[in-house]
């Protein structure tokens, strides 16, 4: 006989798990370099507006679809629109979970290996920081082994179940993450000269904004909130029918945004105080920050804390990516959770191997990009925006905005979705995503 579907043990368990999914490499590694290369405060303001106008409505929509159906990403669409092709939106999400985790785990592996590089002294004051990083990611074995370790932990947690695996892990990891982050912010803000970094995040210079940075802000919003791929549908499906949707969604969005901003306060004051370039790009966390740590008092300790923080954040997101795929096989095909976690975990690991190698160990290009960059491009420019667009159209026009809103409002919390929700989900969200997608693709291939 099939075991009954699990439910979160409490409201806090859901919020921690969903915030754990949202808070990840996207908030620390990606957010900091995107802010750094897009001029700082002005970009942050645009990003916050997009979070409110697109991110929050999408968040409550996905959670509502999950709680309503108690189904995985594909099953939820099947339940609400049987015998129609809408389940393909969920399938796009399952594919995205697979694609994202295969390279996400590689980056998470870099982060874990940097804990040991910092302890081992290979990132001391006279190190060639860029050389160490490039040497690491282009080598054949080390990044693949760390990727394997990270995937093994991820699949172990998912195999242990929603309550015993995910719920238990986030209850320990999320508080640890907040404590580490606060320590790093305090260290950074108390360095002499930190003020210039604070100004960089708080004083907007709108002349720095370009159309490209607005597109970047939308992409960042989807990725950081784990939206557009059925992840929040899946996590929402383990909610009790009595749990509220609008308040819980607001908590997740607020925690994710708070962590991104705090990560900014941990990183930029230190970068400025010690005279480094905030616009260093994707290498900011792995090249610039180790250099920053090496030149500050207590640097080894703070360096280790930073990479532990980054690895924890990555882990609580990685489990949610794997859960999207596993929940589908468990719900729809009656696979046992252990079997699904093991098989899918190993397959994702295998796809991650050529992704890691394509960074330099071998030459493996698709559509003119290394396979690693291709996977990132696929999720950022196609899978997440398309999934988000179609989910908004589904909720707004097929299930209908009125029904989605009334359903989300059934358990009254502090926030009640009003007519504004209908306007956002029916028109503003899908049109904004469509525009961004089209411009992004034209820009990429022109
Ligand atoms: N939100 C995660 C981050 O910011 O790192 C990444 C992510 C997790 C994206 C889960 C999508 C997802 F479904």
What does the pLDDT look like over 280-299, one tens digit per residue? 988 999 999 999 999 999 99
Indicate whether 251 belongs to any domain: yes
- Is ligand 1 within 6 A of the CB of residue 231? yes
**Per-residue pLDDT at 111:** 98
Q: Does 154 sit in the ligand 1 pocket, CB within 6 Å? A: no
Instruction: Check: pTM over 0.75? Answer yes or no.
Output: yes
- Helices 211-224 and 41-50 meet at what angle, rounded to 10? 50
Q: Mutate which of 17, 20, 21, 108 to test ligand 1's pocket (most atoms within 8 Å of Cβ)?
A: 21
Q: In Å, how far from its chain's centre is CA 305?
A: 20
In a domain? residue 146:
yes
Instruction: Tell me the two tokens of residue 209.
Output: 């904004």
Q: What is the pLDDT of residue 2?
A: 67
Percent of the chain with pLDDT over 90: 94
Residue 397 lies in a domain: no
pLDDT in tens, 296-353: 999 999 999 999 999 999 999 999 999 999 999 999 999 999 999 999 999 999 999 9
Ligand 1 geometric centre to CA of 128 (Å)? 31
CB pairs under 8 A, 24+ apart, for 129-133?
129/287, 129/288, 129/290, 129/291, 129/294, 130/283, 130/287, 132/290, 133/283, 133/286, 133/287
Q: How many domains does the chain have?
A: 1
pLDDT for position 440 = 86
* Ligand 1 center to 231 CA (angstroms): 8
Give me the pLDDT at residue 412, please. 84
Pocket of ligand 1 contains residue 24 by CB under 6 Å: yes
State both tokens at 260.
């991104």
Residue range 226-231: mean pLDDT, rounded: 98
Q: Is residue 396 part of a domain?
A: no
Tell me the chain's radius of gyration from C-alpha atoms.
21
- Any domain includes 81: yes
Arithmetic mean of pLDDT, 141-147 = 98
Work out which ligand 1 atom sits closest to the CA atom of 223. 9
- Angstrom distance (rounded) from CA 347 to CA 105: 13
Which CATH number do you get for residue 278? 1.10.4160.10
Contacts of 360 (CB under 8 A, 6+ apart): 134, 137, 138, 139
Distance from residue 62's CA to the centre of ligand 1 (Å): 14
The preferred substitution site among 221, 224, 348 for testing ligand 1, maximizing ligand atoms within 8 Å of CB, is: 224
pLDDT, position 213: 87
Looking at the CA of residue 313, tell me the nearest atom of ligand 1.
Answer: 5
Is 381 near ligand 1, meaning CB less than 6 Å away?
no
**Distance from the alpha carbon of residue 319 to the mean position of ligand 1, in angstroms:** 10
Say whether pLDDT at 394 is over 60: yes
For residues 311, 317, 321, 326, the Cα torsion angle rounded to the nearest 10 degrees is 90
Which residues, listed in sequence order, are joined to residue 422 by a DSSP beta bridge? none
In the predicted structure, residue 1 carries a pLDDT above the cut 80: no
* 380, part of any domain: no
Which residue's CA is the nearest one to ligand 1's atom 10? 226
Distance CA 276, CA 428 (A): 39
What pLDDT, on the 0 to 100 scale, is given for residue 399? 97
Atom index in ligand 1 nearest the CA of residue 317 equals: 8
d(CA 108, CA 314): 6
| Overall size of the chain counted in residues | 446
Q: Atom 11 in ligand 1: which residue has the minimum CA distance? A: 226
- Residue closest by Cα to atom 9 of ligand 1: 226
Mean pLDDT, residues 9-15: 97
Mean pLDDT along residues 56-73? 98
Pocket test for ligand 1, best of 17, 26, 384 (most atoms within 8 A of CB): 26
Query: Has residue 368 been placed in a domain?
Result: no
* Enclosing domain of residue 282: 11-359
- Separation between Cα atoms, residue 339 and residue 176, nearest integer Å: 30
The mean pLDDT value for 152-181 works out to 97
In-domain check, residue 5: no
């Amino acid at each position: 006989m099939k075991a009954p579907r699990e439910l979160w043990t409490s409201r806090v368990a859901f919020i921690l798990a969903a915030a754990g999914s949202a808070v990840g490499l996207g908030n620390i590694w990606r957010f900091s370099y995107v802010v750094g290369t897009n001029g700082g405060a002005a970009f942050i303001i645009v990003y916050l507006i997009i979070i409110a106008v697109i991110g929050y409505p999408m968040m409550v929509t996905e959670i509502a679809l999950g709680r309503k159906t108690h189904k995985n990403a594909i099953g939820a669409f099947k339940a609400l629109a049987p015998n129609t092709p809408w389940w393909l939106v969920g399938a796009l999400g399952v594919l995205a979970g697979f694609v994202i985790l295969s390279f996400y785990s590689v980056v998470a592996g870099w982060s874990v290996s940097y804990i040991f590089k910092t302890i081992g002294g290979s990132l001391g004051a006279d190190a060639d920081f860029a050389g160490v990083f490039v040497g690491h990611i282009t080598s054949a074995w080390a990044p693949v082994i760390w990727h394997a370790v990270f995937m093994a932990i991820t699949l172990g947690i998912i195999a242990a179940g929603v309550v015993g695996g995910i719920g238990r892990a986030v209850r320990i990891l999320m508080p640890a993450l907040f404590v580490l982050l606060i320590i790093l912010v305090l260290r950074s803000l108390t360095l002499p000269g930190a003020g210039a970094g604070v100004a960089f995040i708080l004083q907007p210079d709108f002349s720095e904004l370009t159309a490209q940075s607005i597109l970047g802000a939308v992409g960042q919003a989807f990725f950081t909130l784990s939206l557009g791929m059925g992840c929040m549908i899946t996590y929402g499906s383990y909610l009790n029918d009595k749990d509220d949707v609008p308040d819980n969604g607001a908590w997740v969005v607020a925690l994710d945004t708070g962590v991104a901003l705090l990560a900014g306060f941990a990183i930029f004051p230190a970068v400025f105080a010690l005279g480094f370039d905030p616009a260093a790009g994707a290498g900011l966390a792995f090249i610039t920050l180790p250099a920053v740590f090496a030149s500050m008092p207590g640097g080894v300790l703070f360096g280790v804390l930073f990479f532990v923080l980054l690895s924890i954040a990555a882990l609580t997101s990685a489990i949610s990516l794997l859960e999207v795929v596993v929940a589908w096989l468990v719900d729809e095909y009656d696979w046992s959770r252990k079997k699904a976690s093991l098989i899918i975990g190993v397959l994702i690991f295998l796809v991650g191997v050529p992704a890691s190698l394509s960074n330099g160990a071998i030459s493996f290009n698709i559509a003119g990009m290394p396979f690693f960059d291709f996977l990132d491009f696929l999720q950022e420019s196609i899978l997440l925006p398309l999934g988000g667009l179609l989910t908004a159209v589904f909720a707004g026009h097929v299930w209908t905005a009125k029904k989605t809103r009334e359903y989300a409002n059934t358990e009254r919390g502090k926030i009640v979705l009003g007519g504004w929700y209908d306007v956002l989900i029916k028109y503003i969200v899908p049109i904004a995503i469509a525009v961004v997608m089209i411009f992004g693709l034209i820009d990429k291939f022109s």
